[in-house]
Amino acid sequence: MMRQNSKIEDLKKNYDDIKIPDILDDVVNDALNINKNKKSNRNKWTTTVAACLGVLVITVNLSPAFADTLDDIPVIGNIIKIINFRNYTVKKGDIDISIDIPKIIGLKDEEVEFKLNKEFEEEGKKLYQEYLNEIKNLGTDGKKYGKSWYEVINENDEILSLVIYNETVEGSSYTTRKFYNINKKDGTVLTLQGMFGDKDYVKVISENIKEQMRERMKENSDDVYWIDDDEIDDFQEISKDQDFYINENNDLVICFDKYEVAPGSSGLVEFTIPKEIVKKLMN
């Protein structure tokens, strides 16, 4: 125990020296492997830096047995708390900025907990500084609205799914989301590639999403998706690190931000992937 605490203290002392990769997929090759017939607690971290927003995580390669938990979640009693760590606020005239920063408490893997919380704080600080720089250039009559907040969208004895929203309003509103899905059993953060490994999950899930798009448009003329249209760039496939969460029915839900796969009027778009497809990919 003393050895573990010393390790965490060393991490805290080297806070400013830790480099954080920008996408979930960056550490998949150094993943924590979970196998039904093997016991392993190894975790490794890479320092690959990508170009988009993201988070440092340990991905988990799930055994086929874990597919069963999507239907039957066991009670294991792990307690993980999400608290409001900090809030950055600017309210003056027509300027309204509010940034809530979450903090995770109770992960079994303290290194993962520390690095996730560090990422939350750094991203919040970065966003706040961007807003301050924009405010300086607005002038006395400038208007600015920006808000960042978080929500726990699902929690059971096995999975906690957290989403962080960023919303700005300049004429029209624009909202982006970032999801974190935590395996409460071992304290790791789930990724698509961690769950499906080398399987061609990108193609399989993308084809199902296209089918759902066509079905939605067939059932409702108001539903419009960028597919099967020669005049625009159609949706082709999800990214390897596409945002997702596990819902209250333990379904995999693939998420898109505004304008990604549909007109702005469609807002934030989600597709629930059938369990039979998920299980086939995991087995």
pTM, to two decimals: 0.68
Q: Which domains, and CATH codes, for the chain?
A: 196-282 (3.90.640.20)
**8 A C-beta contact, residue 150 and residue 82:** yes
pLDDT on residue 221? 84
Q: What is the mean pLDDT of residues 266-277?
A: 93
Q: What is the mean pLDDT of residues 204-215?
A: 95
**Predicted confidence (pLDDT) per residue in 133-186, tens digit:** 888 877 655 678 999 999 999 998 889 999 999 998 876 778 899 999 999 888
- pLDDT reading at 70 higher than 80: no
- pLDDT reading at 74 higher than 90: no
- pLDDT reading at 24 higher than 70: no
**8 A C-beta contact, residue 58 and residue 112:** yes
**8 A C-beta contact, residue 160 and residue 182:** yes
Q: What is the mean pLDDT of residues 203-222?
A: 92
- pLDDT reading at 16 higher than 70: no
Phi, psi torsion values for 69, nearest 5 degrees: -70, -15
Place of tokens 């993308």: 206
**Predicted confidence (pLDDT) per residue in 218-257, tens digit:** 988 888 888 877 666 688 899 999 999 999 999 999 999 9
Place of tokens 């596409």: 242
